[in-house]
Structure 1
């Protein structure tokens, strides 16, 4: 069942579409785009993506290449940071370069890339979108047209050391921030545990902080935008959410090192046994459960919904979509490769290899997969109730403002009141242009 949060998220998507429709440069002839309107041409293509940490992406590419020797795909790995990946893709588009063919885009980039005509519109009737998770499909559309295909979805999850909680007499995963703190105190009181960090997420000044900050606000009952599209961060609820992060760092519940964490450093800290609780994406499950000696906590952790101020928290909607560069050659090959990569077989293969969230809904009910990944039911609910980040043509400016506000408060450079007041003003300017 889809909860209130996803209804609110859907409303925000609709509002965002109205806001974007009023942007002066969203579809003008001088926007720098170059869409031909035709997906033609066959031959080799290049696939721009973040780091392939599992090797399964290359495995699928190799499978494609073996069957299509004249239409080979080459992976171009971009930097680890999502912000740096976006910058590389934007530079490629602004230069009208043919270097990238397929773009592995964060779900929140669709509006910006589509409005600037940096990616091609895709034929909706060639994809069985009814079989994909609806929130994931919504992230791939702009003005009701399809500009990408959802490949990976994502919902934030709470990874926790069940062995440590059991030893401390804590029988259930925490549902609230206070319960999490109490559990941490009990674990750290046991011999040898005093140096453990209680909780970490992704608090470096990058896109991950936008997600973590949004989740904190939402999990305190607040929102970034209301249903009419008006910014709502200068509120008590938003203050409570940001204070959860600020006070966590001040008290030491959140280790000081966490203000430098992106996804991978936080994942490594957890699987090296340095943390009791970690907020991260589902891909961590496979890494932390590795049996090759790379993880110190294999068999010692479990997964739960994110906690919130007074009950279960609300995730930010994450994930990635594949789009086709408007400036590329061999777009027909690119379209077929996306169909291959988003097939049920490929998505199941990827889940088994990486524990990343699939976008095909039926895989969450596959008995074999649920047995191997018991968290799938929790993950599906996290995705269905997740709230999207603000979709904006000038998303780079929006997320930069959110990161600046959260980071300055977390690091004691601004009070939460001042940070949120300034953010409110900046978002009002960005969403009314």
Structure 2
């Protein structure tokens, strides 16, 4: 992949080459079609669906290339490949906030699959729609939440006031990125009071707040619902002791699979996504990885609550959640806002006003 290698040389981002997955050796056989998917490494579980698809389609290989989980860096990498009209990448796992920008830039192919409002939560479809055209197959919701240790916290927190209580401890990473913006939205009126709970990137083990929480060094960690499976690990003391607090105004994100507008394998890529959309193929993966599903059938299935406590009253959570604007000006404004918030925390200043301008509420 010429462009990917060029990106590596330009040091835009470091790819985890060990994450390139191919069950079969790619040969010069002209009858073998290779579909390449680019995705953040934290979104796992897709491999089992790929395995099933490849067994049914001997002439198709799905290659997965994994990159960093850092949202800003993923965005830079995606736009770098798409700006170059890279035909080597067929499918991108995208964040919902990029949908409109990517669609209007001609980066994405219309999905071309019928998505029923009876099957999918409507907000999942809306997230990946631009000018009445759907551009990605909704895959999973993601909700900003507070994780805490049930075995160490005397009283389960109900709202931020139970945690932001004058006893500063590491909870948030102070870094100019999308998470900082989401955390600020969730904290609302508690944002300034929460300044002492932010730890600057690179200091006091902040690079590993997630790992520190898992190992038991800290009792709280603000993260995303998709991380629950990572924490509920019975090889560690934390297994079975992971509590979650969903903020009063949580940020609702989403991930979807989009076909590149520059792919030379659009038909096969679309066929694979149609296969992936079958609930029979995705059910087991959702249970194992514990993502928040976008399918109504799973959202109302009480069994899924056993796999992820974020699923409790999930329909009410989705209704009250905040969805970030995805207009084509969002990214530019968001990056500037991240810097403003970061500066306000560093200098202990009043946070900027932004909710009415940059986000929309359901």
Superposition TM-score, scaled by structure 2 size: 0.81
How many correspondences in the alignment? 327
**Structure 2 counterpart of 1:174, from 135, 147, 157:** 157
Q: CA deviation at 1:287?
A: 1.3
Structure 1 unaligned regions, length at least 5: 1-41, 186-196, 221-240, 307-312, 429-433
Deviations 1:21-64 (A, max 9, x none): xxxxxxxxxxxxxxxxxxxxx9321101011564x222222222
Whole-angstrom CA distance in 2 between matches of 1:330 and 1:260: 47
Q: Which has the higher contact order (CA 8 A, sep 6+)?
A: 1
- SS of equivalent to 1:283: helix
The reply on whether 1:395 has 2:338 as its aligned counterpart is no
Match of 1:203 in 2: 174
Q: How does 1:4-403 map to 2 (within 5 A)?
A: 43-52=33-42, 54=44, 56-124=45-113, 126-165=114-153, 168=154, 170=155, 173-182=156-165, 198=169, 200-217=171-188, 220=189, 241-246=190-195, 249=196, 253-255=197-199, 265-291=208-234, 293=235, 295-306=236-247, 313-403=248-338
Q: Closer, same or farther in 2 for the Cα pair 1:393/1:350, shift >3 Å?
A: same
Match of 2:7 in 1: none
RMSD over aligned CA atoms reads: 2.8
Q: Closer, same or farther in 2 for the Cα pair 1:372/1:355, shift >3 Å?
A: closer
Q: CA deviation at 1:337?
A: 1.4
CA contact (8 A) 1:204 1:259 kept: no
Deviations 1:102-160 (A, max 9, x none): 11001100010011111011235x23343112222111101121111210111122221
Whole-angstrom CA distance in 1 between matches of 2:185 and 2:302: 33
CA contact (8 A) 1:45 1:73 kept: yes
Match of 1:415 in 2: 349
CA contact (8 A) 1:351 1:358 kept: yes
Whole-angstrom CA distance in 1 between matches of 2:237 and 2:135: 42
Whole-angstrom CA distance in 2 between matches of 1:79 and 1:395: 22
Runs (4+) off by over 6 Å: 258-262
Deviations 1:163-189 (A, max 9, x none): 112xx4x2xx2233332245x85xxxx
Superposition TM-score, scaled by structure 1 size: 0.69
CA contact (8 A) 1:153 1:383 kept: no
- SS of equivalent to 2:222: strand
- SS of equivalent to 1:319: strand
Match of 1:17 in 2: none
CA contact (8 A) 2:111 2:135 kept: yes
Whole-angstrom CA distance in 1 between matches of 2:92 and 2:84: 15
Match of 2:22 in 1: none
Match of 1:16 in 2: none
- Give 1 or 2: higher helix fraction: 1
